[in-house]
Chain A
Amino acid sequence: MNIANLMLMFVVLVVIIVFIVRSIKKNKEEAVEEPVEVDDKTYTLDKMIKFVKKRLDEITKINLYDIGLSEEELKRRKAKKYELKKALKGCTYGDVNDKKYVKELIYDLLSKEYGVDEVNISKAIPFDVPSLLTAQDKFDILIHEYKKTFSYEALTELIKKYNLAALKLVPGSTKPCYVITSDEIDMIYDKENLNLSFADKLEVVVQRIYQQYKGYSSIDEIRDMNIDGVSGRSFWFTRKLLKPSCTNRWRLFKTSHGSKSTKSM
Chain B
Amino acid sequence: MSVVTFWNALEKECGQTLSAIAIATYMAMEHNYRILLIDACFHDNTMEKAFWKKKENKALRELTGGKIDISSGAEGLISAVASNKATPEIITNYTRIVFKNRLDVLLGLKTEIRHDHEKSMMLYKDLITTANKYYDIVFVDLSKGTNRPSSEAILKISDVVLYTMPPNLFNIDKYKELKANKNSIVSKQKVMPLLARSDESSGYNVKNTTRYIKDRYTIATIPYNVRYMEATNEARTATFMTNTKLSKSALSVNGNFFEELDRTSQMIIDKIRELNK
Contact = CB atoms under 8 A, between A and B. Distances in A.
Interface of A: 29, 32-34, 55, 58-59, 62-63, 66-69, 72-73, 76-77, 79-81, 83-84, 87, 97-101, 104-105, 108-109, 112-113
**In this complex, which of B57, B65, B75 has the most chain A Cβ atoms within 10 angstroms of its Cβ?**
B65
B13 interface: no
Interface of B: 57-68, 70-72, 75-76, 78-80, 82-85, 89-90, 92-94, 97, 100
Nearest to B101: A72
Contact of A80 (B65, B84, B94): B94
Contacts of B89: 79
A108 B75 contact: yes
B126 to A, nearest CB: 13
Contact of B71 (A59, A69, A73): A59
Given A32-B61, A32-B62, A76-B92, A113 B79 contact: no
A100 B82 contact: yes
B239 to A, nearest CB: 17
B83 A97 contact: yes
Contacts of A69: 57
Contacts of B90: 79, 83
A33 B66 contact: yes
A58 to B, nearest CB: 7
Contacts of A83: 80, 85, 90, 93
B63 A62 contact: yes
A100 B63 contact: no
A29 B72 CA distance: 22
Contacts of A99: 83
B64 A79 contact: no
Nearest to A113: B67
Contact of A68 (B59, B61, B92): B59
Given A72-B100, A104-B82, A67 B71 contact: no
A83 B80 CA distance: 9
A27 B202 CA distance: 54
Given A29-B58, A112-B70, 10 more contacts: A34-B65, A55-B67, A58-B65, A72-B100, A76-B94, A80-B93, A99-B83, A104-B78, A108-B75, A113-B68
Give 8 nearest A-B pairs by CB, closest first.
A33-B66, A100-B83, A104-B79, A101-B83, A76-B93, A32-B66, A67-B59, A97-B84
B66 A101 contact: no
Contact of B63 (A55, A63, A84, A108): A63
Given A76-B93, A109-B70, A67 B83 contact: no
Contact of B79 (A73, A77, A108): A108
Contacts of B57: 67-69
A76 B89 CA distance: 9
A243 B139 CA distance: 64
Contacts of A76: 92-94
Contact of A105 (B65, B66, B79, B93): B79
A69 B59 CA distance: 10
A113 to B, nearest CB: 5
A69 B63 CA distance: 13
Nearest to A114: B67
B75 A97 contact: no
Given A59-B70, A67-B60, A100 B84 contact: yes
A183 to B, nearest CB: 36
B211 to A, nearest CB: 48
Contacts of B70: 55, 59, 105, 108-109, 112-113
A84 B68 contact: no
Contacts of A80: 71-72, 76, 93-94
**In this complex, which of B63, B72, B94 has the most chain A Cβ atoms within 10 angstroms of its Cβ?**
B63
15 contacts: A33-B66, A33-B67, A62-B63, A66-B59, A66-B63, A76-B92, A80-B72, A87-B83, A97-B83, A99-B83, A101-B79, A101-B80, A101-B82, A104-B78, A104-B83
A231 to B, nearest CB: 28
B71 A105 contact: yes
Nearest to B58: A29
Nearest to A32: B66
A72 B61 CA distance: 20
Contacts of A84: 71
Contacts of B66: 32-34
A104 B86 CA distance: 14
Nearest to B66: A33
